[in-house]
Amino acid sequence: MKIMIVDDHALMREGLGQLLAGLYPDLVLLHAANGAQAVAMLLPQRDIDLVLLDYQLPDMTGLDILRQFARVQPTLAVLVISGSANPNLMRQTLSAGARGFVQKTGNTQALVQAIDAVLNDGTYTPPELQALVALGNGIRTVDLSPRQETVLYGLMDGRSNREIALELNVSEETVKTHVSAILRFFNAENRTQAALAAVESGFRVPKRT
């Protein structure tokens, strides 16, 4: 059994390692402190059975890493561990290729259940988030359009509607319409809340060239 733990906190990696060692006597453990290390380690290691992936890392989000993993090993079993109880984030990680999603606030039993499910070609999501999905609470059924994403990045970058409008060569009224759609998308009351929700959901402002 070969498992990679990706987490920027050494204590978290050690704790997970001790738990896994008690479950799998023949365990081979790999440790990565950030996304770049994890991707680099994955290239020569084609026999990894499971990756335990912390969603929020110093250099990239779980969504970024899942996309890079998919290019290297599309069938890789990944269980995302997140401090967020956001059902939208769970939906995004599963759509990006993760086989399971667990919360850091959950108990050890839930984590063991999740690991067992993923290792046996199943999936795992926390029951409380499954309930939200079933009720449709907070779950987005549509995604932002490419133009709305562009406006979102301007909003996250702290630019005003006027500045965004000038950059996109559209009217301020058009930008306001997109901003209103973004607020609804994130169930936010203002631009600041929307920007924070976007970061939590894995959106990152593209680097300017």
**Residue 205 DSSP class:** P
User: According to the model, what pLDDT value does residue 141 have?
Assistant: 45
Determine what percent of the chain is predicted with pLDDT higher than 90.
49
Q: Which CATH number fits domain 2-134: 3.40.50.2300, 1.10.10.10, 3.40.640.10, 3.40.190.10?
A: 3.40.50.2300
Fold match between 2-134 and 146-200? no
According to DSSP, the β-strands at 100-103 and 28-32 are unpaired
DSSP 8-state secondary structure symbol assigned to residue 207:
P
Alpha-carbon torsion (23, 28, 34, 39), positive or negative: negative
Angle at 65 between CA 138 and CA 201, to 5 degrees: 20
| Side-chain half-sphere CA neighbours of 178 within 13 A | 24
Which spans in the chain are helix H?
10-23, 35-42, 62-72, 87-95, 108-119, 127-135, 146-156, 161-168, 172-185, 191-200
The predicted-structure confidence for 179-188, as pLDDT tens digits, reads as follows 998 988 887 8
The CATH number assigned to the domain with range 146-200 reads 1.10.10.10
Least confident piece of the model among 3-17, 23-37, 45-59, 131-145: 131-145
Q: Copy the structure tokens of residue 157.
A: 């970058």
Contact between residue 169 and residue 133 where contact means Cβ atoms under 8 Å apart: no
Does the predicted model carry a pTM greater than 0.75? no
β-pair partners for 54: 81
In whole angstroms, give the CA distance from residue 191 to residue 31: 38
Question: To the nearest whole percent, how much of the chain has pLDDT over 70?
Answer: 89
> Can you give the residue ranges of every domain in the chain?
2-134, 146-200
Mean pLDDT value across the chain: 86
pLDDT in tens, 138-172: 445 446 778 888 899 999 999 999 999 999 999 99
Angle at 65 between CA 62 and CA 67, to 5 degrees: 110
